Amino acid sequence: MKITSVDTFLVPPRWLFCRVETDEGIVGWGEPVVEGRADTVRAAVDELSDLLLGRDPRRVEDLWQVLTKAAFYRGGPVLSSAVAGLDQALWDILGKALDVPVHQLLGGAVRDEVRVYGWIGGDEPSAVADAAAEQVESGLTAVKMNAAGQLGRMPTRAEVDGIVSRLAAVREAIGDTRDVAVDFHGRFGVAAARRVLPELAPLHPLFAEEPVLPEFPHRLGDVVSASPVPIACGERLYSRTDFLPALQAGVSVVQPDLSHAGGISEVRRIAALAETFDALLAPHCPLGPVALAASLQVAFATPNFLIQEQSIGIHYNVGAELLDYVLDRSPFAFPRGVIELWQAPGLGVTIDETAVRKAAREPHRWRPPLWRHADGSFAEW
């Protein structure tokens, strides 16, 4: 079997899909994207395709080594995301060629279902209690919210009170038998995080995500030591070596993104590394159906898995939804807040190629918000 073509499709709301075809007619799909830099990743996929054409797609590990290392310069979000999508497609092809789901190739399922959570509140969180109640009605048993919108460099007493009161409102809406996670989105400095996290502890958030920017791994331990809330991070980390300092700092939950951190091949190794630190895996995935399918395949086969993010109804999905690009929506159903074990071959998702090609005729140019402080200086989004 040989790879004959690699194609990419920019589709709304902010995603990039890749399609890898073989001379035996087997097609694999992947989702290589950096949100807001989709065109840049698309160019990287095009460059990397030179290393794939004519090669046997079933040699997944060998191709991963070549894709990540053959150009001398390594790592970073663009290259790692391009590799991630191609890696997903190669695993998809291998599973289809052998007529087995990817989780079976990873050693087999260790669970029969995967718990998932949904987003509430948006970038500037508001009406979170009502939104949480709606998610519970849809079947979810866990939600995630931003701790705050735009913040000053050192949050005021009023801003801190607002964070606590919003979380309290969600806790009241969902009760004590369900979970809420809080995303700091790197908007807090170390001192601010150390101040806020103890105040959230009585409300028992599942975890606090990315309390400080990934540029400061040397300060992450200071946050962990001051926090009674489990700390999670990893959406902006791209390899085992990126995750090692975070694990050494004592984070409880790692959140690699299957479309950023080298795909299935690297994330399963990140999960194994995390297990040696007694940390849990909760893959980041505010993206499309292929990224979610790849995440689920890893979740099905990973012992130290905690919970899976999914983007159905997320505030970024303007103009298209995750289920718009799949032929069979039923595998993504979560009536009890869980997605049941998939048995379809490959990634287990059937992409609606007609819908993808039609959507790609009007490619998106999504960009993240640009925030500024009151004095006009740049503010973290």
Catalytic pick among 284, 315, 364, 373? 284
331 token code pair? 């595998």
Q: Evaluate if residue 230 carries a pLDDT over 90.
A: yes
Confidence (pLDDT) at 162: 94
Domain count, the chain: 2
pLDDT mean over 119-147: 92
- In the residue annotation, 260 being an active-site residue is answered as no
Q: Does one domain contain both 176 and 297?
A: yes
Specify if 362 maps to a domain.
no
The DSSP 8-state label assigned to residue 228 in this structure reads: S
Specify if 378 maps to a domain.
no
Spatial neighbors of 355 by CB under 8 A, at least 6 apart, are 324, 325
Q: Evaluate if residue 299 carries a pLDDT over 90.
A: yes
**Mean pLDDT of all residues in the chain?**
96
What distance in Å separates the CA atoms of residue 261 and residue 358, rounded to the nearest whole number? Answer: 29
Q: Evaluate if residue 125 carries a pLDDT over 90.
A: no
Confidence (pLDDT) at 315: 87
Catalytic pick among 185, 218, 260, 364? 185
Specify if 337 maps to a domain.
yes
DSSP string, 259-322: TTSSHHHHHHHHHHHHHTTT-EE--B--S-HHHHHHHHHHHHH-TTB--EE--TT-TT--S--G
36, 70, 101 - which closes a domain? 101
Q: Does one domain contain both 108 and 97?
A: no
What distance in Å separates the CA atoms of residue 26 and residue 15, rounded to the nearest whole number? Answer: 23
Q: Does one domain contain both 311 and 340?
A: yes
What distance in Å separates the CA atoms of residue 92 and residue 22, rounded to the nearest whole number? Answer: 12
Q: Does one domain contain both 111 and 96?
A: no
pLDDT mean over 307-322: 92
Note the pLDDT tens digit of each residue in 353-381.
999 999 999 999 999 999 999 999 999 99
Specify if 130 maps to a domain.
yes
Q: Does one domain contain both 70 and 178?
A: no
Beta bridge partners of 30: 18
Tell how strand 15-22 and strand 3-11 pair up: antiparallel
What distance in Å separates the CA atoms of residue 62 and residue 56, rounded to the nearest whole number? Answer: 10
Q: Does one domain contain both 292 and 328?
A: yes
Specify if 41 maps to a domain.
yes
Specify if 165 maps to a domain.
yes
**What is the extent of the structural domain holding 83?**
3-101
- In the residue annotation, 284 being an active-site residue is answered as yes
Q: Does one domain contain both 48 and 72?
A: yes
Specify if 334 maps to a domain.
yes
Note the pLDDT tens digit of each residue in 163-185.
999 999 999 999 999 999 999 99
Confidence (pLDDT) at 313: 86
Q: Does one domain contain both 134 and 217?
A: yes
Q: Does one domain contain both 84 and 166?
A: no
Q: Evaluate if residue 153 carries a pLDDT over 90.
A: no
216 near 191, Cβ under 8 Å?
no
Q: Evaluate if residue 126 carries a pLDDT over 90.
A: no
Beta bridge partners of 17: 9
CATH number at residue 30: 3.30.390.10
Specify if 341 maps to a domain.
yes
Q: Among the residues of 140-288, which ranges form H helices?
A: 157-174, 190-200, 217-226, 240-249, 263-275
Q: Does one domain contain both 118 and 85?
A: no
CATH number at residue 203: 3.20.20.120
Q: Does one domain contain both 171 and 265?
A: yes
